[in-house]
Amino acid sequence: MRIMGLDFGSKTVGVAISDPLLLTAQGKEIIRRKEENKLRQTYARIEELAKEYEVEKIVLGRPKHMNGTEGVRVELTEEFKANLERRTGLPVVFWDERLTTVAADKAMMEAGIRREHRKEYVDMIAATLILQGYLDYLANQPKE
């Protein structure tokens, strides 16, 4: 079993995949689109990756504001979630993504990645952080 992590943005979707033991998340790619509402190819690529990696669940970052309120982005993400579930047939769970982009940017700064190159990777790293947070949560749940 593997889990896919997604960071859904206005023109990109960062993608991460877990290892089969559900211990670690690895960034895979960033799906880019020219227009915000043109999602057909994005859904198709996610479906391809889900089949390729035998994904059984998707974790989708939920973009709440720092004070816990929800804005327009949450509505768009909820619509994206519903379409993903319908198209892939997989369960999609939300995971709080607050500060993941900030953490991704900080990690790249510490790794010495130049500012102009950070935008190329930030969504994939954010997806990795979203998925790793979820995997860590699962690992700390009592076993039945």
Question: Using one digit for the tens of pLDDT, what is the confidence trace for 45-73?
Answer: 999 999 999 999 999 998 765 566 666 77
Please tell me the distance from the alpha carbon of residue 130 to that of residue 116, in angstroms, as a whole number.
23
Assess contact for 100 and 130: CB atoms under 8 A: yes
Tokens 């670690």, residue? 24
Q: How does the average pLDDT of the chain come out, rounded?
A: 85
Q: Which residues contact 104 (CB under 8 A, 6 or more apart)?
A: 121, 122, 125, 126, 128, 129
Per-residue pLDDT, averaged over 123-142, amounts to 88
pTM attached to this predicted model: 0.85
Q: Lowest-pLDDT range, 23-27, 63-67, 80-84, 126-130? A: 63-67
**2-139 CATH:** 3.30.420.140
